[in-house]
Structure 1
Amino acid sequence: MSLSGSTRRDEAATAQAAPAPVPAPAPATPPAPVGPGGRTSPVLLAVIALCTAVTVANIYLAAPLLGLIAHSFGAAASGVGWIAAVGQLGYAAGLLLFAPLGDTAHRRKAVAVLALGVGAAMAASSFAPGLGLLGAGVFAASAASVVPQLLVPLVVERAPAGRRGMHLGALMAGLFAGIVAARVLGGAAAQAYGWRAVFLAAGLLTVVVGAGTAALLPSGARAGGPAVTANPLHGMARTARALASSAELRRACLRQGGLFGAWSALWTSLVLLLTGEPYHLSTGTAGLFGLLGLSASLVAPLSGGLVDRFGSRKVVRGTYALAVLWLPLFWLGGHRMWALCAAAVLVHAGLVAGQVANQARALAATDTPAAANTGYVVAAFAGAAAASALSGVAFGHWGWTGVCAVAACWLLLGGLPGIRTHLRPRRR
Structure 2
Amino acid sequence: MPTTTVTTGRPAKASAERAGSLLLVLIAVCTAVTAANIYLAAPLLPLIAHDFGSTASAVAWVASVAQFGYAFGLLVFAPLGDSVNRRRLVAVLSLVTTAALTGAALATGTTALAAAVLVASAATVVPQLLVPLVAQRAPVERRARHVAAVIAGLFTGIVAARVLGGLIGQAFGWRVVFVGAAVLTAVLGLATAYALPAERPRRSGPLFSGLTTLPSVVRRSPDLWRACVRQAGMYGAWSALWTSLALLLTGPSYHLSTATAGLFGLFGLAASVVAPLAGGFVDRFGAATVVRSAYLLAAVSVPLFWLGGHALWALFVAAVAVHAALVASHVANQTLALTTTATPATANTAYVVAGFAGGATASALAGSAFGWWGWGGVCAVAGVWLGLGWLTTSVRR
TM category, shorter: over 0.9
For residues 328-356 of structure 1, the C-alpha deviation after alignment (integer angstroms, 9 at most, x for no partner) is: 11111010000001000010011001011
Q: For residues 395 and 289 of structure 2, what CA distance do their matches in structure 1 show?
A: 16
Q: 2:41 aligns with which of 56, 62, 76?
A: 62
CA contact (8 A) 1:265 1:387 kept: yes
Aligned pairs for 1:161-200 (under 5 A) are 161-200=140-179
Q: For residues 112 and 80 of structure 1, what CA distance do their matches in structure 2 show?
A: 31
Tell me the TM-score normalised to structure 2 length.
Answer: 0.93
CA contact (8 A) 1:265 1:384 kept: yes
Q: 1:109 aligns with which of 88, 95, 115?
A: 88
CA RMSD of aligned residues (A): 1.6
1:363 maps to 338
Once the 2 structures are TM-superposed, how far is the Cα of residue 193 of structure 1 from its aligned partner? 1.0
CA contact (8 A) 1:114 1:144 kept: yes
Q: For residues 210 and 178 of structure 2, what CA distance do their matches in structure 1 show?
A: 30
Once the 2 structures are TM-superposed, how far is the Cα of residue 230 of structure 1 from its aligned partner? 7.2
Q: 1:209 aligns with which of 183, 188, 199?
A: 188
CA contact (8 A) 2:229 2:393 kept: no
CA contact (8 A) 1:122 1:141 kept: yes
2:17 maps to 35
Once the 2 structures are TM-superposed, how far is the Cα of residue 238 of structure 1 from its aligned partner? 2.7
Is 1:410 matched up with 2:392?
no
Change (3 A) 1:417 1:162: farther
Q: Which amino acid aligns with 2:301?
A: W
Once the 2 structures are TM-superposed, how far is the Cα of residue 293 of structure 1 from its aligned partner? 0.6
Q: For residues 49 and 374 of structure 2, what CA distance do their matches in structure 1 show?
A: 19
For residues 246-297 of structure 1, the C-alpha deviation after alignment (integer angstroms, 9 at most, x for no partner) is: 2211110000000000000000110000000210000011001101111111
Q: 1:282 aligns with which of 236, 257, 275?
A: 257
**What secondary structure is seen at the aligned counterpart in 2 of 1:35?**
helix
Q: For residues 222 and 157 of structure 1, what CA distance do their matches in structure 2 show?
A: 14
Aligned pairs for 1:266-415 (under 5 A) are 266-415=241-390
Tell me the TM-score normalised to structure 1 length.
Answer: 0.87
- More helix, by proportion: 2
CA contact (8 A) 1:296 1:349 kept: yes
CA contact (8 A) 1:258 1:410 kept: yes
For structure 2, list consecutive stretches of 5 or more residues without a partner in the other structure: 1-14
Q: For residues 381 and 229 of structure 1, what CA distance do their matches in structure 2 show?
A: 28
Change (3 A) 1:208 1:229: farther
CA contact (8 A) 1:167 1:304 kept: no
Q: Which amino acid aligns with 1:64?
A: P
Q: For residues 218 and 149 of structure 1, what CA distance do their matches in structure 2 show?
A: 16
Q: For residues 266 and 370 of structure 1, what CA distance do their matches in structure 2 show?
A: 30
Of 175-184 and 312-321, deviating more is 312-321
1:98 maps to 77
Once the 2 structures are TM-superposed, how far is the Cα of residue 105 of structure 1 from its aligned partner? 4.8
Q: Which amino acid aligns with 1:391?
A: A
Aligned pairs for 1:254-273 (under 5 A) are 254-273=229-248
2:8 maps to none
**What secondary structure is seen at the aligned counterpart in 2 of 1:156?**
helix
CA contact (8 A) 1:105 1:219 kept: no
Q: Which amino acid aligns with 1:88?
A: Q
Aligned pairs for 1:7-26 (under 5 A) are none
Q: For residues 290 and 357 of structure 2, what CA distance do their matches in structure 1 show?
A: 23
Q: 2:211 aligns with which of 214, 229, 236?
A: 236
Q: 1:219 aligns with which of 198, 209, 212?
A: 198
For residues 95-125 of structure 1, the C-alpha deviation after alignment (integer angstroms, 9 at most, x for no partner) is: 0110002223511001111000110000011
Q: For residues 104 and 290 of structure 1, what CA distance do their matches in structure 2 show?
A: 37
For structure 1, list consecutive stretches of 5 or more residues without a partner in the other structure: 1-32
Q: For residues 229 and 291 of structure 1, what CA distance do their matches in structure 2 show?
A: 46
Q: For residues 328 and 384 of structure 1, what CA distance do their matches in structure 2 show?
A: 19
Once the 2 structures are TM-superposed, how far is the Cα of residue 44 of structure 1 from its aligned partner? 1.2
For residues 76-96 of structure 1, the C-alpha deviation after alignment (integer angstroms, 9 at most, x for no partner) is: 110000000000000001001
1:83 maps to 62
1:8 maps to none
Q: How many residues align?
A: 383
Q: For residues 82 and 179 of structure 2, what CA distance do their matches in structure 1 show?
A: 31
Q: For residues 253 and 235 of structure 1, what CA distance do their matches in structure 2 show?
A: 17
**What secondary structure is seen at the aligned counterpart in 1 of 2:213?**
helix
Q: Which amino acid aligns with 1:35?
A: E
Q: Which amino acid aligns with 1:276?
A: G
Q: Which amino acid aligns with 1:79?
A: A
**What secondary structure is seen at the aligned counterpart in 1 of 2:395?**
helix
Once the 2 structures are TM-superposed, how far is the Cα of residue 245 of structure 1 from its aligned partner? 2.1
Q: Which amino acid aligns with 1:339?
A: A
Q: For residues 62 and 322 of structure 2, what CA distance do their matches in structure 1 show?
A: 23
Once the 2 structures are TM-superposed, how far is the Cα of residue 310 of structure 1 from its aligned partner? 1.7
**What secondary structure is seen at the aligned counterpart in 2 of 1:77?**
coil
Q: For residues 26 and 290 of structure 2, what CA distance do their matches in structure 1 show?
A: 27
Q: Which amino acid aligns with 1:250?
A: W
For residues 341-395 of structure 1, the C-alpha deviation after alignment (integer angstroms, 9 at most, x for no partner) is: 1000010011001011000101112222111111111100000000000001111
**What secondary structure is seen at the aligned counterpart in 2 of 1:79?**
coil
